[in-house]
Amino acid sequence: MKYAFVNGVILDGTKDMEPLRGKALLTDGRKIAGITGNLPDLSGYDVIDLKGRYIMPGLINMHVHLAGNGGNGKPQKQKDYKRVVDRLFSNPLTAAAVHKMVADYAKIELFSGVTTIRTVGGLRDLDTRVRDEISSGKRLGPRILAANEGISVPGGHMAGSVAVAAHSIDEALAQVDIARSQNVDLIKLMITGGVMDAVKKGAPGQLKMSTEMVKAVCDKAHSCGLRVAAHVESQEGMKVALSSGVDSIEHGAKPDEETIRLFKKTGASLTTTLSPALPYALFDRPVSGATEIQQYNGRIVFEGIRDMARAAVKYDIPVCLGNDVGCPWITQYDFWRELVYFHKYVDVTRRDVLYLATLRAATLAGIGDLTGSIEEGKEADLIVTEGSPLEDLHVLGNVRMVMAGGKLIRAPKIHRKAAIDARLDPFC
């Protein structure tokens, strides 16, 4: 189906985007066929009158776990994840149910205006399977860049759930081979712990993986043409990651001069995720359910992520946004909040935030020639909002239309979680 969007305001996703009025945006079934001022003959097109609404590239959520959607809002206790996951996949019925759940969550991302996601820790090989089902047209969903299971260490972050625990460098390298056989798009490492793993005050993001293991995995991944994204929540962890060849730091921590120097030297990028730390840092404890230690560490992590993001902007380190959905309090339809937080806490303009969440992210993900901006020949990945996101990012929380690879969803409906939304709204 060919579409002509008329009477809208176009934001093209580029760094200096200015509202473009009086033009028609044409799509040819899959791609953007053109932006034209002189209306051509529109016979053969389904004409969509935007009535002054805004149209821009679909958002790109660079840090997604497809195994959760809002959780119960309470922090999870460390448990024997591996046993739970093994049991789920040992029974074909429960395995099929989990597969469907993951695919449904991906669809929620799309319906909320996110047309590309990068998954960084999933259950078995479900992320690549759902990716392929979507790209072959069997399912509706966003474009997926998938890491499948991450690589962690025994007792490390997410070990047993969305990451495997490697007991040795050989085991870590064997997992890279497994990931390659699943045709992943990137490799994910869990180098440090997280907020919930820490048992002591002031110890979130403790280094768990050896420098040797990080380096061995990076070397092998790079030799196969795969980039490495690493979960890191401490300064020490960032130094290990950056000096060992990691391509992107996920989350981050308070930087020092050495960290900035390493970022600049290696060209590595940062994926900022304010969403997962915010509830532990800023909610009252009876609401978040966090212990005093978790709240204390949550604040360290939140401020560290914020400060690293500010430094990235200041020193021109490549940065993009992810919301780490899968963590408690974060839903698959809430990526827009990360943009609001970034604008508010990192203190950058709305225009810059929109760029970071569209063309900048696409470029950093290696798909900048495919998507991320409104340009002739690119995939038709588009969203329509009621007002201008340049004036109010909240309009992204309720997109009116979504187009993914030329397929139009005219009135995307999302089942929202009112209790979670009510807790987060005061911070947006």
Contact set with Zn ion (CB under 5 A)? 324
Q: Which contiguous run of DSSP H or E holds residue 30? A: none
Q: Output 149 or 324, the one with its CB closest to Zn ion.
A: 324
CA distance 207 to 160: 18
Find the shortest distance in angstroms from Cβ 20 to Zn ion: 36
Q: Output 57 or 150, the one with its CB closest to Zn ion.
A: 150
Q: Output 8 or 279, the one with its CB closest to Zn ion.
A: 279
Q: Output 63 or 417, the one with its CB closest to Zn ion.
A: 63
Find the shortest distance in angstroms from Cβ 275 to Zn ion: 10
Q: Output 158 or 176, the one with its CB closest to Zn ion.
A: 158
- At residue 234, φ and ψ (nearest 5 deg) are -150, 160
Find the shortest distance in angstroms from Cβ 273 to Zn ion: 7
Find the shortest distance in angstroms from Cβ 192 to Zn ion: 12
Q: Output 56 or 330, the one with its CB closest to Zn ion.
A: 330
Name, in order, each residue with C-beta under 8 angstroms of 341's C-beta and a sequence gap of 6 or more.
274, 275, 278, 427, 428
Q: DSSP E strands: which ranges in 82-215?
A: 114-119, 143-146, 150-152, 163-165, 186-190
Find the shortest distance in angstroms from Cβ 166 to Zn ion: 18
Taking residue 383's Cβ as centre, other Cβ atoms within 10 Å add up to 28
Find the shortest distance in angstroms from Cβ 157 to Zn ion: 8
Find the shortest distance in angstroms from Cβ 327 to Zn ion: 7
For residues 15 and 359, the answer to whether their CB atoms sit within 8 Å is yes
Q: Output 121 or 406, the one with its CB closest to Zn ion.
A: 121
Is residue 152 packed enough to be buried (19+ CB in 10 Å), middle (13-18) or exposed (0-12)?
Answer: buried
Q: DSSP E strands: which ranges in 204-292?
A: 227-232, 248-251, 269-272
CA distance 269 to 357: 14
Q: Output 125 or 324, the one with its CB closest to Zn ion.
A: 324
As given in the structure block, the two tokens for residue 384 are 């329509």
Collapse the DSSP code of 146 into the 3-class scheme (helix H, G, I; strand E, B; otherwise coil) and give the result: strand
Tell the residue number behind the tokens 């056989």, with chain if given. 181
Find the shortest distance in angstroms from Cβ 3 to Zn ion: 35
Q: Output 227 or 378, the one with its CB closest to Zn ion.
A: 227
Nearest C-alpha neighbor of 51 from the set 386, 412, 374: 386
Q: Output 275 or 373, the one with its CB closest to Zn ion.
A: 275
Name, in order, each residue with C-beta under 8 angstroms of 304's C-beta and a sequence gap of 6 or more.
205, 233, 234, 235, 252, 253, 254
The separation between the first and the last C-alpha atoms of the chain, rounded to the nearest angstrom, is 37
Find the shortest distance in angstroms from Cβ 313 to Zn ion: 22
The 3-6 sheet, strands edge to edge: 32-36, 24-27, 3-6, 46-49
Find the shortest distance in angstroms from Cβ 230 to Zn ion: 11
Point out the residue whose Cβ comes nearest to Zn ion: 324
CA distance 173 to 171: 5
As given in the structure block, the two tokens for residue 39 are 């209306």
